[in-house]
């Protein structure tokens, strides 16, 4: 019988709230790469394409940051307009901090040196309500967003390390395992 891989507890994000009371999740990752290399993985589209191709942004305060999960459907489905989030870059402080915000979301990447590598602290707002997407058969909830960001940050780390990985979509085995870990974390 194949042993299931467990999600390390320390890799799970920590739930909290922003100053306005919106739910958030914060991840802290120690990466074996210098700050400049991780900054490039976050802000340079050629490097970001390996782990987060859905994000396009112009690297300056006031510019647009667009997160597009519509898979090329233009315009995005009226049933699920959340597939495309048009945000604004609110902080661009190379190579340490990037923040962008939209109507219902705020994301922050913060990098500091840590030994020979760097510490990444990533924080994102979470949905306050759960929404079922009939088309994809998925639930947009704090758990799905948490495991989605968890997976994206894992993919960034693997990309930086040169380790092979596959994007598995909304419901692959890695995402199911993460989803269950986040559900169990609530108990």
Domain locations along the chain: 12-185
Whole-model pTM: value is 0.82
Which of 6-15, 68-77, 105-114 is predicted with the least confidence, judged by mean pLDDT? Answer: 68-77
DSSP code at position 106:
E
Q: Which residues lie below 8 Å from residue 59, measured CB to CB, with a gap of 6+?
A: 43, 89, 92, 94
| Per-residue model confidence (pLDDT) at position 131 | 57
Contact indicator for 114, 30 with CB cutoff of 8 Å? yes
Q: What is the mean pLDDT of the chain?
A: 82
| Per-residue model confidence (pLDDT) at position 163 | 92
Fold category of 12-185 in CATH:
Alpha-D-Glucose-1,6-Bisphosphate; Chain A, domain 4 (3.30.530)
pLDDT, tens only, 51-66: 998 899 999 999 999 9
Tell me, rounded to whole angstroms, the distance of Cα 20 from its chain centroid. Answer: 21
pLDDT, tens only, 126-181: 866 655 556 655 555 677 788 888 889 999 999 999 998 877 766 678 878 887 88
């Amino acid at each position: 019988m194949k042993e299931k891989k467990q999600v390390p507890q320390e890799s799970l994000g920590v739930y909290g709230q922003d100053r306005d009371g919106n739910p958030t999740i914060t991840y802290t990752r120690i990466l074996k790469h210098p700050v400049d290399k991780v900054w490039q993985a976050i802000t340079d589209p050629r490097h970001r394409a390996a782990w987060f191709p859905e994000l396009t942004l112009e690297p300056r305060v006031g510019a647009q940051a667009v997160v597009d999960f519509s898979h090329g459907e233009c315009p995005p489905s009226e049933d699920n307009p959340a597939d495309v989030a048009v945000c604004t870059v609110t902080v661009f402080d190379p190579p340490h901090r990037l923040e962008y915000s939209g109507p219902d979301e705020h994301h922050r990447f913060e990098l500091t040196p840590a030994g020979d590598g760097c510490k990444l602290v990533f924080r994102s707002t979470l949905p306050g309500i759960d929404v079922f997407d009939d088309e994809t058969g998925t639930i947009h909830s704090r758990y799905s967003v948490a495991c989605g960001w968890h997976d994206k940050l894992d993919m960034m780390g693997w990309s930086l390390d040169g380790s092979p990985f596959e994007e598995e979509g909304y419901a692959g085995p890695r995402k199911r395992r993460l989803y269950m870990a986040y559900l169990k974390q609530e108990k």
